[in-house]
A = this chain, B = another copy of it.
Amino acid sequence: MEGFKFEEQEFFACCGSSKFAKEMSKASPFSSLDEAVTAARDIWFNKVDVTGWLQAFSAHPQIGHNPSPSSHSTSAQWSKGEQSTAFATATSSSLQELSQWNTKYREKFGFVFLICASGKSTDGILAELKRRYPNRPIVEFEIAAEEQMKITELRLGKLFSTKEKVPSTGN
């Protein structure tokens, strides 16, 4: 087995930028998760343009909302899993406040509030949203891109763990 080979669509589920998925597919196969993460960071920060960043951001459901189980089902399932702590710690009033702040955030910045939610409570996410809200749009844009990269790394890990469970039958 020479390395881990994935479909472009699998990379797209990790990060919803077409350019990212295409470049990752070109750069694969990868010999390890570490190699894939290194390539992903290079592609995301150096090759995907700002429109590609916006495209990837728009693939996320609003935080605190269940993604609709539609087209990108892998991404939707992952998103639900990443927010499991948030959902477990949510009260109806905290979810309502989060929803109001999400709207406020989107009006100011033009994209959804992005945070690597894994292990974070609803109150923790809300506090972070309020802390980031006063940022200048360009500053917040870069922070969101860094959060996207954290999410991508987690999802690449999931992708690789799936592949290890199903070894190639080729040799």
Contacts and interface: CB of A to CB of B under 8 A. Distances in A.
Interface of A: 45-54, 108-111, 136-138, 141-142, 145
A51 B145 contact: no
Nearest to A45: B136
A145 B142 CA distance: 15
Q: This chain: how many copies in the complex? A: 2
Contacts of A46: 136-137
Nearest to A51: B110
Contact of A137 (B49, B108, B137): B49
A108 to B, nearest CB: 7
Contacts of A109: 49-50
Contacts of A48: 137
17 contacts: A45-B136, A46-B137, A47-B137, A49-B108, A49-B109, A49-B110, A49-B137, A50-B50, A50-B109, A50-B110, A50-B111, A50-B138, A51-B54, A51-B110, A52-B110, A53-B137, A138-B142
A138 B47 CA distance: 10
A133 to B, nearest CB: 13
Contacts of A52: 110
Nearest to A19: B110
Nearest to A135: B46
A50 B141 contact: yes
A141 B142 CA distance: 11
Given A138-B141, A138-B142, A54 B49 contact: no
Contacts of A47: 137
B45 A54 contact: no
A114 to B, nearest CB: 13
